[in-house]
Amino acid sequence: MKPPEVSITVTDLSLRFPVYGVDAKSLKKNLARVTVGGRLGSSNTGATEVTALSNISFNLRPGDRLGLVGHNGSGKTTLLRALSGAYEPDEGQIEVRGRIAALLDLSLGIDPSATGVDNIRLRGRIAGMSAKEIEGKMDEIAAFSGLGPFLAMPMKTYSAGMQARLAFAVATAVEADVLLMDEWISVGDAEFKKLAHRRLLNLVERAGILVLASHDTQLLRLYCNKVMRMEGGIASEVKDIRRIDELLAAA
Amino acid sequence: MESAQHMLRTGRRGTLFEFSMALRDLAMSWDRRGLAWSLAWHDVVSRYRGSILGPFWITISMGLMVLGIGLLYARLFGISVAEFMPYVAMGIVFFGLMSGTINEGCETFVQARNMLSQTALPMFAFVWRTVLRNLINLAHHAVIIVAVIVVFGLWREMVILPALAGLVLTVLNLSWISMLAAIASARFRDIPQFVMSVMQFAIFMTPVFWKPDAFPDRHAFLTLNPFYHMLTTIRAPLLGEQADGLSYIVLAIAAVLGWALTFSVFAVTRRRIVHYL
């Protein structure tokens, strides 16, 4: 019972962020504008707009592992968030077939005062698992985190490394066809890093498509087979990973 | 679109399209109702973690207020305690539901900022989270209601069904107000303060602590106050009195119009809300 073909299709995607200044957020200013009758804002909504992505198009098929490269603020994370469904395009279209898992922020939905087990449940729920699925995976997640009896303790009693272990264990327990990652996650001590690495590879293998944003070209070469360069919200063509140097040199 | 298998996001505009997307968000929140429930339950549990009595602390403080105001005002107004105490008890508990749902509504989207900006979770789920959280709290405070019903023997003449109908209508109205507050607060950070002032004002303008006997029936001072209708449709039947049929009608109409308004606002602002945060 394989679901229909996994794919990502992005056509002419443009995304603009309205920036609501501190002033614009005050109701008084808005009312004042109405009574005075003029428009102080630069756009019709009274907000300045920043174009984060413009005219991006690409296609990904099963087996594609796309690396996103680019400077800070070039739109990599925005693109990932748009692919996760959080942002609506202003123009163009995003179509994703398959279950999406976005590993953009390990601490998403983590409550430090709740116990490890409660956090596994909560995070699992946010990731779209049912209560039953979570209970089914509980043992596996607990075992992988290696936290044993600490799972019954509040997360705030954990060291930073332990917190990262748990967050990582839950975040990667999802079944996904499309995996979105912002930087390759590396957490914990050397031993855990090796475990984490194997688990991620496993996840990537099961997932049909990976989109990974990173500054580390070594890493991208290792895990991706395609690469796309972002600059100022404009994307290059999708190229074979072997041509990454060429792509970077073009800058 | 939002079966977990297929996601489509477009830059298409047009009123009809925006409404259909808003409707999808609503449908998705129903498919994932377990999520809203888990979040609401987690909120309650985590707020009182480590405390032995938990949400019952609020119940106790409410109970104390009921006891104090019940005894004092009964004396001041010259009403018998047996008549006044249950009246105040229900007033305070149900008004707590109203002010809680509306005040916390202001935080609905602002608090969920992280989740909204990196997942495709339906926005309605967070509205239900706020409403469910307040219903869970109400379930705790129901202890007070049960106590006055037993102590003052109200079970002999109370009628449950009209009170339940009143509660359903009230919650229907509270949810749209809460959602409207959520959208407005995301965009304008003055709204939470404003809403809080209004609710503080409303508790004194609504017959929570006092009886509206001084007013003739259907005086504008009462009929123009939506909280009066909410409160009276729940409270009167529980006290063995009959609530004015007009109040049910007002609530039903307000629910329909209010949801139409809120849903339209949501449809228009939906794609922007995440940027407001």
- pLDDT tens for residues B167-176? 999 999 999 9
Query: Which residues 6+ apart lie within 8 Å of A54 measured at CB?
Result: A14, A15, A233, A234
> In the predicted model, what is the mean pLDDT of residues A52-65?
87
Tens digit of each residue's pLDDT (9 = 90 or more) over A113-142? 888 888 888 888 888 788 888 888 888 888
User: For the ranges A90-94, A176-180, A243-247, which has the lowest average pLDDT?
Assistant: A243-247
Pairwise CB contact (< 8 Å): A81 & B117: yes
Share of chain A above pLDDT 90, in %: 0
What are residue A189's phi and psi, to 5 degrees? Answer: -80, 175
Min distance B124 CA to chain A CA atoms (Å): 14
Question: What's at A155, amino acid-wise?
Answer: M
Measured from the Cβ of residue A21, the count of other Cβ atoms closer than 10 Å reads 12
User: In the predicted model, is pLDDT for residue A5 greater than 90?
Assistant: no
The closest alpha carbon to A27, from B190, B207, B217, B273, belongs to B190
Interface test mutation site (partner A, options B118, B185, B271, B272, max chain A beta carbons within 10 A): B118
pLDDT at residue A38, rounded to an integer:
38
Query: Which residues 6+ apart lie within 8 Å of B271 measured at CB?
Result: A88, B18
Residues of B in contact with A126 (CB under 8 A): 35, 115, 119, 121
For chain A, domain boundaries: 7-99+212-249
Tens digit of each residue's pLDDT (9 = 90 or more) over B130-154? 999 999 999 999 999 999 999 998 8
Residues of A in contact with B194 (CB under 8 A): 27
Tens digit of each residue's pLDDT (9 = 90 or more) over B229-252? 999 999 999 998 888 889 999 999
User: In whole angstroms, what is the distance from residue B156 CA to residue B64 CA?
Assistant: 25
The architecture of the domain spanning A7-99+212-249 is 3-Layer(aba) Sandwich (3.40)
User: In the predicted model, is pLDDT for residue B4 greater than 60?
Assistant: no
Residues of A in contact with B4 (CB under 8 A): 99-100, 128
Closest B-chain CA to A180: B118
Pairwise CB contact (< 8 Å): A125 & B271: no
For chain B, domain boundaries: 32-40+52-276
Question: What's at A215, amino acid-wise?
Answer: H
Q: Tell which B residues from 181 to 240 touch A, by Cβ distance under 8 Å.
A: 187-191, 194
